[in-house]
Structure 1
Amino acid sequence: MDTITLRLFQSEDAPWLIERHGTLYAREAGFDGTFAPLVAKIITDYLARHDPAREAGWIAEAGGRRLGSIFCVAQSADVAKLRLFLLEPEARGRGLGQRMLGHCMDFARAKGYAGMTLATHESHRAACALYARNGWQIAQTRPVRAYGCDLLEQTWDIAFH
């Protein structure tokens, strides 16, 4: 694989990001067609309202091919929210997820956030293991019916010291 770079998300990345979330989550988690429109709304809101001084999104890329995404947005004045973390299957297991998570967390620290939060599902075991290895802790777990599936939704938090 070519050298992987992380670059800032651009509006031209939106169709790819929406499609890949919809396709991968359908294939890997059984999510229905309601998931991609949620991703589209998140991206539309980000493009319309994000504060570039405190929020950013990145695309991992190699040889002009997009391999993943991660976003850091404001949840509140003191807490950042990790969103839209995605890795293409062929990019997994090579340390790229760790690199992207570290980059996002470093950004949040540099922008003065006291901590971060994220929402995921218990079924995303590899991502949850990555969060745990980096000091994140489960703050809440609750059963939900979403995207055509019965899921255990988790909120993970980390405080910066």
Structure 2
Amino acid sequence: MSNHNTSDIIEAYLKKILEDSEIIEIRRTEMAEQFQCVPSQINYVINTRFTIQRGYVVESKRGGGGYIRIEKIKISDKHRFLEQVNELFDERLSEKDALGIIQKLYEEQIVTKKEGNLLLATLAKNTLRGFAEEEQIRATLLHAILERLSYEDRK
């Protein structure tokens, strides 16, 4: 349980820094020392909570002068953003990745909370459980939804 809590704290810390700056560079070992955890926990947080589906681009360089750069994606054109999200996955989509995409659509005010919850219910594992190609159906549905949203005139 403490690992989960530490991960939440690390995530909150990095997001707070990203509020003031769209790009940050960190050193894994320095972060691990600061939060008194193993460096792999820093990797875990970055790999699971700073994904493209959640609106972040991560670049890393290993070695002595290595760093991890996290950049918050700038969204200026909702139509282009929706196209980019649609290109993130092909014919299969896990429930976890669908959740991340829907969360980002909500954060960017492309869907309301109610619409997001309806999408979550539609794409949930429990909803699609009886189908042999659950991930394929989820991907097809989300592609259709994103395409429709990209042509909808939203204010």
More strand by share: 1
TM-score by length of 1: 0.27
**Higher helix proportion, which one?**
2
Larger radius of gyration: 2
